[in-house]
Amino acid sequence: MRPLAGISLAAVLLFAASLPFLAASPHAEAAPTRVELVARDGDADLAARLVLSLGGTVEVSSGGRVQALLSPEALEELAEHPDVDVDRPGLFVPLQVVPATTLIGADRWNAAGFTGYGVKVAILDAGFSGYESRLGSSLPGHVVTRSFRRDGDIEGGTEHGRRAAEVVHSVAPGADLYLVNFTTVTELSAAVDYLIDQDVDIVSFSLGYIHNGPGDGTGAVNQIVNRSTAAGQTWAVASGNWAQQHWVGEFSDDDGDTIHQFAPGVEMNQHQFSAGDLITVSVRWDEPWGGACSDYDIELFGPSGALVRAARGVQNCDDDPVESLQVLATQTGLYGVRIIEAHAEDGPRTLDVMMVGTPDRGNPLSVFRPQGSLSEPADNPAVITVGALTISATRTEAGYSSRGPTTDGRFKPNLLSPTGAGNSSPAASFGGTSAAAPHVAGALALLKEAFPSADSNRLASLLQTRAVGVTATADSSGARRLDMGSLFGVGPLIPDGDARLIGDVPESGIAFVEYAGPDGFPSRFTHTLVDFRAIRSVFSVDPDTDLWTAYSPGRPSWVNTLSSYEDGQELFIFFDPFAP
């Protein structure tokens, strides 16, 4: 995925400063540590009371989770408490890449009146820096914003979410956009609670967690996503940009020195970083989540060959099978990672290794394997996982685009999408799977407008049936690509040809008009004929039988007896007096 080109160094430093091992000098007084707690019986209030009893501060509480500030002494005491677990949330980074300008063909939909009108789309991201200056241009004139960060900063020090929102708007300019940001798993949980409460239809998610779960669609983040999909919301999730920064395979040690060999005779896997990059290294192995008895360690070496940092946590049958570290690069050059086997229960395990940077400059590992490189929650079976297409005429899967299979053997990604929004859009410099996912979110908004009664499963099916094959390569996932051009011609959509109303159409009140155009024009698209003004109801009378029929947006079918218009049909249109 050629990740993270749009993240500023200031944002990286701000993120790095939030990490306990980077937050203070060794000589500073120990500061409170931000932790995320999970109540074993789901009682977040109990966990909150425990935090307060130990002199801590509760920041966020949601879904049986509590985010809190605790002193090191209090944290040590709480770690032994039988009613709560200190969660290891994994490492998340925005998934972004270098510029791409592939244009997705939504123009026929938009020209036919499909804009995502009335559909609520949430962009759930790290931040939306500069969004206010784009209102009324690359973003709608009005958006709903809500920050779940502890500081309430909707901009969050990054343009990543704003760029994703611009992509959604370029595809579905009539959709209602919700810009929502967070930084921790508990804040994500609270954000999802909000989106459910707001009856959001579509969620665009261009972030990825590294080893937040076992890779089979479970884990803390996936549990939160499941709460949203169970409420009927459809997620378009970036697969990740790490196919070339990932290695998977069985631990190998031909010479018996306990150091893993990524290839015959290769004990050091290298990656180019620049000074100031935040380096993330993580290894996961195939043991039960929360029950790892094997123990693997990480050693990171700098360009000079000196040890920069090591991760040597002890897994003793009640821990997750994960070891990870993050550190700022102090110089430009090749950094190398070694995996050490401290102890292997029942023989060597299968290792899953990630080594990425923030900002991610797309440099590959010296030895990489793309298969199984998905981020979380891209492994979730209930989401539409979106990979990236190349911008070449051959339309192949991008080499950096993360792919499955999941650890339980499922096919992912579900779709491949172009990544650019066109040279005329500010989103043209935004790409990777971060841009691919909001293109699909925009397409889902168009489908939701066209098929308003379609549930999440139906929307996913409608999307899949409009995908076409791509040129396969040796390492490709076999996913099909979204084709917006083919979307238009399938299903009961607005007929081709001019459709208009003859008569006086006032700004408000009642309009008495005659419909002129193709027979069978769906009444649910009346808003496209009146400059998208909000409609309360439409009535028509049959002059031969004096039978009245009616259509009211959002009403059930037994109320809406007026389903379509015929050429020459007379209509009474009542506008919503309370709509803006």
Percent residues over pLDDT 90 in the chain? 58
Q: Name the band, by pLDDT with cuts 50, 70 and 90, for residue 482.
A: low
E-assigned strand segments in 344-409: 350-358, 384-388
Q: Measure Cα distances from 229 to 171, 315, 441 in Å.
A: 23, 33, 14
Residue-by-residue DSSP string for 228-249: HHHTT-EEEEE--S-TTSEEEE
User: Does domain 246-357 fall into CATH 2.60.120.380?
Assistant: yes
500-524 as b/e, with b when 16 or more CB fall inside 10 Å? ebeeebeeeeebebebbbeeebbbb
Q: pLDDT (tens digit, 9 = 90+) per residue, 209-239?
A: 999 999 999 999 999 999 999 999 999 999 9
User: Does residue 355 have a pLDDT over 90?
Assistant: yes
Rounded mean pLDDT, 76-91: 82
Tell me the sheet residues that pair with 61: 66
Rounded mean pLDDT, 445-474: 78
Query: Could you tell me if 265 and 248 are in contact, meaning their C-beta atoms sit under 8 angstroms apart?
Result: no
Q: pLDDT (tens digit, 9 = 90+) per residue, 145-182?
A: 999 999 999 999 999 999 999 999 988 999 999 999 99
Q: Name the band, by pLDDT with cuts 50, 70 and 90, for residue 483.
A: low
At 64, list the tokens: 């049986």
How far apart, in whole angstroms, are the C-alpha atoms of residue 164 and residue 206?
Answer: 8
Query: Does 24 or 13 have the greater pLDDT score?
Result: 24
Among 303, 292, 353, 348, which Cα is nearest to 329's?
Answer: 303
- pLDDT confidence of residue 508: 80
User: Does residue 5 have a pLDDT over 90?
Assistant: no
- pLDDT confidence of residue 304: 96
Query: Does 215 or 395 have the greater pLDDT score?
Result: 215
- pLDDT confidence of residue 26: 41
- pLDDT confidence of residue 12: 31
Residue bearing tokens 């009539």: 174
> Lowest mean pLDDT: which of 283-287, 330-334, 359-363, 551-555?
551-555
Q: Name the band, by pLDDT with cuts 50, 70 and 90, for residue 112.
A: low
User: Does domain 94-242+373-488 fall into CATH 3.90.580.10?
Assistant: no
- pLDDT confidence of residue 22: 34
Query: Could you tell me if 70 and 37 are in contact, meaning their C-beta atoms sit under 8 angstroms apart?
Result: no
Q: Name the band, by pLDDT with cuts 50, 70 and 90, for residue 491.
A: very low
Query: Does 465 or 271 have the greater pLDDT score?
Result: 271
Query: How many CA atoms within 13 Å lie on the side-chain side of 454?
Result: 22
Q: pLDDT (tens digit, 9 = 90+) per residue, 121-138?
A: 999 999 999 999 999 999
Q: Which CATH number fits domain 9-91: 2.30.40.10, 3.30.70.80, 3.40.1550.20, 3.40.50.2000?
A: 3.30.70.80
User: Does residue 258 have a pLDDT over 90?
Assistant: yes
Among 237, 175, 219, 180, which Cα is nearest to 414's?
Answer: 237
User: Does residue 100 have a pLDDT over 70?
Assistant: no
> Lowest mean pLDDT: which of 91-100, 504-513, 552-561?
91-100
Query: Does 94 or 193 have the greater pLDDT score?
Result: 193
Residue bearing tokens 């031909």: 254
Residue bearing tokens 């009682």: 43
How far apart, in whole angstroms, are the C-alpha atoms of residue 521 and residue 368?
Answer: 54
Q: Name the band, by pLDDT with cuts 50, 70 and 90, for residue 361.
A: confident
- CA dihedral 33→34→35→39, nearest 10 degrees, is 110
344: left (phi over 0), alpha (psi -120 to 50) or beta: beta
Query: Could you tell me if 282 and 322 are in contact, meaning their C-beta atoms sit under 8 angstroms apart?
Result: yes
How far apart, in whole angstroms, are the C-alpha atoms of residue 552 and residue 176?
Answer: 20
Query: Does 303 or 7 have the greater pLDDT score?
Result: 303
Query: Which are the contacts of 259, defined by CB distance < 8 A and separation ≥ 6?
Result: 253, 267, 338, 339, 340, 341
Q: Name the band, by pLDDT with cuts 50, 70 and 90, for residue 473.
A: low
Rounded mean pLDDT, 454-463: 88
At 284, list the tokens: 């996961």
- pLDDT confidence of residue 102: 35
User: Does residue 111 have a pLDDT over 70?
Assistant: no
Query: Does 266 or 13 have the greater pLDDT score?
Result: 266
451-470 as b/e, with b when 16 or more CB fall inside 10 Å? beebebeebbebbeebbeeb
Rounded mean pLDDT, 499-508: 86
- pLDDT confidence of residue 435: 87
User: Does residue 391 have a pLDDT over 70?
Assistant: no
**Rounded CA Rg of the chain:** 26
Element (H, E) at 31: none
How far apart, in whole angstroms, are the C-alpha atoms of residue 509 and residue 536?
Answer: 10
Among 497, 3, 578, which Cα is nearest to 239's?
Answer: 3
- pLDDT confidence of residue 92: 66
Tell me the sheet residues that pair with 295: 343
Q: pLDDT (tens digit, 9 = 90+) per residue, 401-413?
A: 999 999 999 999 9
- pLDDT confidence of residue 531: 78
At 289, list the tokens: 């989540």
How far apart, in whole angstroms, are the C-alpha atoms of residue 376 and residue 282?
Answer: 14
How far apart, in whole angstroms, are the C-alpha atoms of residue 350 and residue 482?
Answer: 34
Rounded mean pLDDT, 187-214: 97
Element (H, E) at 285: strand 278-285
Q: Name the band, by pLDDT with cuts 50, 70 and 90, for residue 79.
A: confident
| CA–centroid distance for 473 within its chain | 26
How far apart, in whole angstroms, are the C-alpha atoms of residue 554 and residue 428?
Answer: 36
Among 82, 81, 88, 48, which Cα is nearest to 64's?
Answer: 48
Query: Could you tell me if 265 and 411 are in contact, meaning their C-beta atoms sit under 8 angstroms apart?
Result: no
Tell me the sheet residues that pair with 357: 279
Rounded mean pLDDT, 553-571: 85
Query: Does 44 or 235 have the greater pLDDT score?
Result: 235
Among 366, 354, 335, which Cα is nearest to 402's?
Answer: 354
Percent residues over pLDDT 70 in the chain? 81
Q: What is the mean pLDDT of the chain?
A: 84
Tell me the sheet residues that pair with 177: 121
At 336, list the tokens: 């190398």
Interhelix angle 185-197/220-230, rounded to 10 degrees, is 0
User: Does residue 99 have a pLDDT over 60?
Assistant: no
Among 206, 278, 243, which Cα is nearest to 427's?
Answer: 206
Record the pTM.
Answer: 0.77
Q: Where are the domains of the chain?
A: 9-91, 94-242+373-488, 246-357, 500-575
How far apart, in whole angstroms, are the C-alpha atoms of residue 121 and residue 130?
Answer: 19
Q: Name the band, by pLDDT with cuts 50, 70 and 90, for residue 120.
A: very high
How far apart, in whole angstroms, are the C-alpha atoms of residue 238 and residue 387?
Answer: 6
Q: Name the band, by pLDDT with cuts 50, 70 and 90, for residue 27.
A: very low
Q: pLDDT (tens digit, 9 = 90+) per residue, 527-544?
A: 878 877 778 899 999 888
Supply φ then ψ for residue 374, to 5 degrees.
-65, 145
- pLDDT confidence of residue 371: 95
Among 250, 254, 273, 256, which Cα is nearest to 264's?
Answer: 254
